[in-house]
Structure 1
Amino acid sequence: MLQTLSTVLNNIKTKSKQEIYQLSNNLNNPDQTKHNMLHQVRPEVFNQILIFLDIQQILQFRLVSRRANETIKLMLPKQIHNLQYLIVEQQNEIQVKIQILEATKNPNQQQDLQAALNQISEIPRSRFVELKHYAQPPEIIEKVITLVCLATDSTFKIQKDNWKECQKRLGQGNFINSILYLDISILKEKQLKYLEQVNSYTEEQTASKSLVVRALLIFLKAVVELRKSNLYKMFDEITELEHKIRKKKQFIVNLEKINDN
């Protein structure tokens, strides 16, 4: 029986949107509903089957037959209640994490980043533009500017020769603002892995080449330190919980639509 159900569900997964739409319409027309051995399944057995299905599979299972659809409708209130309960639990978990965040904030890390931003804001734009005139910049300058471009734009691609693209960014009027108003909470893990390369360089190395690049290096190091801290790990966990809650709420909307039909 479960093997038959598994086969039917797998077949549904491969169907096009038009075919799914047709299956949905067929549920209200017994003559068009596909007949198979699932029609002979007793209600209590159907209920046992549902235990092994997640919400997504339940939405697919209702398309198996008219009887499956009717059984699912009877089960929907309980499924909706369970989802609502899980949402409340996850909302409470978010509140607990927020309280932990407030209690464990490290003001020094925030201050280091703000100090770096203050230093950058005081540098004339002309000093940034000067960097773009390098035809072949020292390696450390190219590396730091490349990482700044990556930090401020997740679509920026790290390649062997990034300097031409970096030159374009340096000449843009919003380049400095993209640094000053960077939301480090949205930095992706892939970006962070690249940005960690700044720990291979020292302020002294960059200071001998460019004070602008030195300031940018300090900024990047502060970003990496803060973003990799427990503070932002907690932010990531909260973001993930919020995503799960939104997904569950959408499932509830879908289930309620089925229940109303």
Structure 2
Amino acid sequence: MKILVTGASGQLGSEIKELSVNYTDDTFIFVDRGEMALDDLTQVLSVIENANPDLIISGGAYTAVDKAESEVELVDIINHQAVATMAEWAKQNNRKLIHISTDYVFQGTSSTPLKETEPTNPINIYGLTKQKGEDAIISSDADAIIIRTAWVYSSYGANFVKTMIRLMTDREEISVIGDQIGSPTYAHDLAQVILKIVHSDRWVKGIYHFSNEGEISWYDFAVAIRELKNLDCNIKPITSAEYPTAAKRPSYSLLDKTKIKQTFGVAVPEWKQSLSNMLEKI
């Protein structure tokens, strides 16, 4: 199988690349903005046509959530129009697509884990463009799987876990938001799930949710990082209102993973075990 992976140097792309060595029967083509700039739709189509993959894993995206509020056109090209281009090519050429989306497509006002059928209603530009990307895939009728995920971190790239370790090492006290609820996703776990689905005998197109098991706040996440790293830093929980950002964040975005578990027999690791695994790796 020939697999084209976008966002090759991102957290997820790097984890897929690390795992790809286990799939010797496959040919992986990893592209990043140097080889396939997602804001150049002509290049996107040209690279896909030249690669002619059996499957596209669409992991690349514009993810600077606050900056997105002031770069609306650019974000739309990358998160919506480039995805539409991939979906249309997949449909026309009878190929498969796995696209990574986000909990940010939701309003964030629920109090129960979000199922795939929950109405979307993004509260920021990033979420809106990701929703439009999803809509483009669905309207194309491509043979596609959309996986929504949340709070992604990895041993690769910049992320919340690494930032917390740096801040807690440098400072005696930090403040972390305690009123946004969800569950983190270790990108290594997500990469394993994607490759399991790719090589499964079962392929059921549609939308799925994946994050690690558990329900925590960013504050809880920071406390666990401190414990596992044996750091000596006071962590103060604050409200979202006390830490204003350019883009609003969902206050509740815990994803219900029942569908992906039942459809593909996926085992979802508990968040703290995955955090421990990542910290051991770095």
TM-score normalised by L of structure 1:
0.22
- Structure number having the greater helix percentage: 1
- Structure number having the greater strand percentage: 2
- Point out which structure has higher relative CO (alpha carbons under 8 A, 6+ apart): 1
Instruction: Return the index of the structure with the highest Cα Rg.
Output: 1
